[in-house]
Amino acid sequence: MTVDFLYNLFSEFLSNTIGSDSILLISMLLPLVATFGFITIYALVVIYAELKVSSFIQDKVGPMGQGFGLHAGKFGLLQPIADALKLLSKEDIIPRSADKLLFVLAPFMIFVGAFISFVALPFNESVIVSDLNIGLFYILGVGSLAVIAIILAGWSSNNKWSLYGGMRSAAQIISYEIPAGLSLIVVIMLAGSLNMQEIILYQQGGIGNWIIFDNPFMPIVFVVYFISALAETNRTPFDLPESESELVAGFVTEYSGMRYAFFFLSEYANMFVVCVVAATGFLGGWQSPFADSLDSPLMGFFWMLSKTASLIFVMIWIRWTVPRLRVDQLMHICWKVLLPVGLFNIFAVAIWTVLIG
């Protein structure tokens, strides 16, 4: 369901009534609105999941209730909506000494970074906003926009804690892009394409053909990618930029209300993006694990989302289990552990492919 597809569809029916420019605009806006709606709904679901999974891990009940009114709905299902409404209705505070323009810009920039990544995410054979021939590269590229936004937020708040958070985050995200990129290079080498759909099609034919089982080195590559993904999305154990007990709230210290909600939303949106990339690159994307059975466009949607959801669950699980790393240990792991392992993987997989595969 790419933009081209929509354009052709609309041209067929509407070319008599409105001009081709308007049709192009509509066919571009439609996926945009759909994506925005998807992110919002997904965020509500994943926030609820985070609350409930963390409650399960921490031996408490989490959001609970019996009905409407002051309760959070049945099983606390209304909790994320209540949270969202609370954030929306909160006072919007901009510190007097803050750099107003940058302060206001940062939440939008970080959200845009997360939002435009969704353009290249494949949900099934045909549902992809834009089937770019460099999809994977594009996602890696726009994913880095978050760094600029975080530095802006950290700097413009005019708060020492924010500054610490921003600086830590810049170092962290830029460093961890390298092992993430190295892991994805292996995927690209095997699939022979940067196109998301072609990477998925390469893994056709059931669970055995998934890239993660392609050769003995691939599970290592996957782990390296997943660790880097955790770091890129600022999740525990790499949540140093906003480490609650050290930096108060890091770069979001001075943000409140809707602006804070944008940071929050884009963190979860980024989680989704990295998990979709992991599912695409390693776990067969929207393909069924049982080759041809259970394989249809609708099931494709299901497989994609369930693979992504499982990875997000692992992220939540890790977050509520392990402590946080220190900033120098973070760099140590990146440059002295993940980077050599990533480079080794490239050579190992290349040699394996030439000799055996």
Partner 1 sequence: MGVVHGEEMVLNIGPQHPATHGVLRLQVKTDGEIVSQITPYLGYLHRCFEKHCENVTYEQVLPYTDRCDYLASMTMNFGYVVAMEELLEIKVNSRVEHIRVVMAELQRIASHLLGLGAFGLDIGAFTPFLHMLRDRERILDLFEMTCGARLLYNYMWIGGLSHDLPIGFVESTYKFLDYFEPKIDEFVDLLVHNKIFVERTADIGVMPQDVAISYGVTGPNLRASGLKWDLRRNDSYSIYNKFDFEIPVGEGGKGTVGDCWDRFYVRVLEMKESIKIVRQALASMPKEGDVHQSLPKKIKPPIKSIYRRTESPRGDLGYYIESDGSNIPYRLKMRSPAFTALSVIDEIAAGWLLSDVLAILGSLDIVLGEIDR
Residues of span 135-164 touching partner 1 by CB under 8 A: 160, 164
Among 125, 232, 239, 267, binds partner 1 (CB under 8 A): 239
CA 118 to chain centre: 9
Q: Is residue 237 close enough to count as binding partner 1 by CB under 8 A?
A: yes
CA dist 110 and 252 (Å) reads 12
H or E segment at 167?
Answer: helix 160-191
End-to-end alpha-carbon separation of the chain, Å? 34
Tell me if 300 sits within 8 A of 75, measured CB to CB.
Answer: no
User: Least CB distance from residue 75 to partner 1, whole Å?
Assistant: 20
Which region, judged by CB under 8 A, interacts with partner 1, from 208-216, 217-225, 239-247, 337-345?
Answer: 239-247
User: Least CB distance from residue 329 to partner 1, whole Å?
Assistant: 6
Q: Is residue 337 close enough to count as binding partner 1 by CB under 8 A?
A: no
Contact flags string 4-43 toward partner 1, x per CB under 8 A? ----------------------------------------
Tell me if 93 sits within 8 A of 87, measured CB to CB.
Answer: no
Cβ proximity to partner 1, 54 vs 209, nearer residue: 54
CA dist 353 and 214 (Å) reads 9
User: Least CB distance from residue 192 to partner 1, whole Å?
Assistant: 38
Q: Give burial (CB, 10 Å; 0-12/13-18/19+) of 113.
A: buried
Residues of span 36-95 touching partner 1 by CB under 8 A: 54, 57-60
Q: Is residue 97 close enough to count as binding partner 1 by CB under 8 A?
A: no
Cβ proximity to partner 1, 184 vs 249, nearer residue: 249
Q: Is residue 243 close enough to count as binding partner 1 by CB under 8 A?
A: yes
Block residue for tokens 């154990």: 237
Cβ proximity to partner 1, 39 vs 163, nearer residue: 163
User: Least CB distance from residue 349 to partner 1, whole Å?
Assistant: 27
Contact flags string 310-329 toward partner 1, x per CB under 8 A? ----------xxxxxxxxxx
Q: Which of 155, 178, 180 is nearest to 168 (CA)?
A: 155
Cβ proximity to partner 1, 54 vs 215, nearer residue: 54
Residue 257 backbone zone (phi > 0: left; psi -120 to 50: alpha; other: beta): left
Count of residues touching partner 1 (by CB under 8 A)? 26
CA dist 122 and 243 (Å) reads 33
Residue 286 backbone zone (phi > 0: left; psi -120 to 50: alpha; other: beta): alpha
Cβ proximity to partner 1, 75 vs 320, nearer residue: 320
| 188, 229, 280 from 208: Cα distances, Å | 18, 24, 15
User: Least CB distance from residue 191 to partner 1, whole Å?
Assistant: 34
Q: Which of 305, 298, 308 is nearest to 126 (CA)?
A: 298
Distant-in-sequence, close-in-space partners of 9: CB < 8 Å, separation ≥ 6 = 27
Cβ proximity to partner 1, 236 vs 345, nearer residue: 236
Which region, judged by CB under 8 A, interacts with partner 1, from 99-107, 146-154, 240-248, 349-357?
Answer: 240-248
Cβ proximity to partner 1, 163 vs 190, nearer residue: 163
| 18, 114, 162 from 157: Cα distances, Å | 47, 21, 7
**DSSP-based three-state secondary structure for 141:** helix
Q: Give burial (CB, 10 Å; 0-12/13-18/19+) of 168.
A: buried
Which region, judged by CB under 8 A, interacts with partner 1, from 96-104, 122-130, 242-250, 274-282?
Answer: 242-250
Cβ proximity to partner 1, 95 vs 289, nearer residue: 95
Which region, judged by CB under 8 A, interacts with partner 1, from 62-70, 90-98, 206-214, 232-240?
Answer: 232-240
Chain contacts with partner 1 (rule: CB under 8 A): 54, 57-60, 160, 164, 236-237, 239-240, 243-246, 248, 320-329
